[in-house]
Amino acid sequence: MKKISSWHVGVAAEAFAAAQFARYGIDVSVQYGANQPEYDLIATQGDKMLKISVKGSQDGGWGLTQNYKKGCDYFEATDKWLSNHGKKTIFCLVQFQDVGDDSLPRMYLATPEEIAVELKKSRNGAGDTVLREYHKWNSNSIASGTTDIIPPQWIFTKDRAQFMFDTYA
Instruction: List b or e across 113-129, with b for residues whose CB sees 16 or more CB atoms inside 10 angstroms.
Output: ebbbebbbebbeeebbb
User: Which pLDDT value is given to residue 32?
Assistant: 74
What is the CATH classification number for the domain harbouring 55?
Answer: 3.40.1350
Domain assignment present for residue 141? The answer is: no
Would you say residue 125 lies in a domain?
A: no
**Spans in the chain with pLDDT lower than 50:** none
Q: What is the pLDDT of residue 141?
A: 87
Task: Give the number of domains in the chain.
Answer: 1
- pLDDT value at position 103? 95
The predicted pLDDT at position 33 comes to: 65
pTM recorded for the entire structure: 0.95
What residues contact residue 102 under an 8 Å CB cut-off, 6+ apart? none
Report whether 110 contacts 91 (CB < 8 A). Answer: yes
pLDDT tens digit sequence for 80-128: 999 999 999 999 999 999 999 999 999 999 999 999 999 999 999 999 9
Q: Judge whether 16 lies within some domain.
A: yes
Q: Taking Cα atoms as reference points, which of 105, 113, 129, 120 lies closest to residue 56?
A: 105
Distance CA 115, CA 95 (A): 15
Q: Which residues pair with 136 in a beta bridge?
A: 147
Q: Is residue 85 part of a domain?
A: yes
pLDDT value at residue 34: 63
Residue 137 is assigned to a structural domain of this protein: no
Residue 120 inside a domain? The answer is no
Q: Tell me what pLDDT residue 88 has.
A: 94
Q: Which pLDDT does position 2 carry in this prediction?
A: 80
pLDDT value at residue 111 = 98
- Which pairing describes strands 41-45 and 27-30: parallel, antiparallel, or unpaired? antiparallel
Do the bridges between strand 89-95 and strand 48-57 make them parallel or antiparallel, or are there none, so unpaired?
A: parallel
Tell me if 130 is assigned to some domain.
no
Q: Is residue 44 a part of any domain in this protein? A: yes
Residue 13's domain comprises: 6-112+154-168
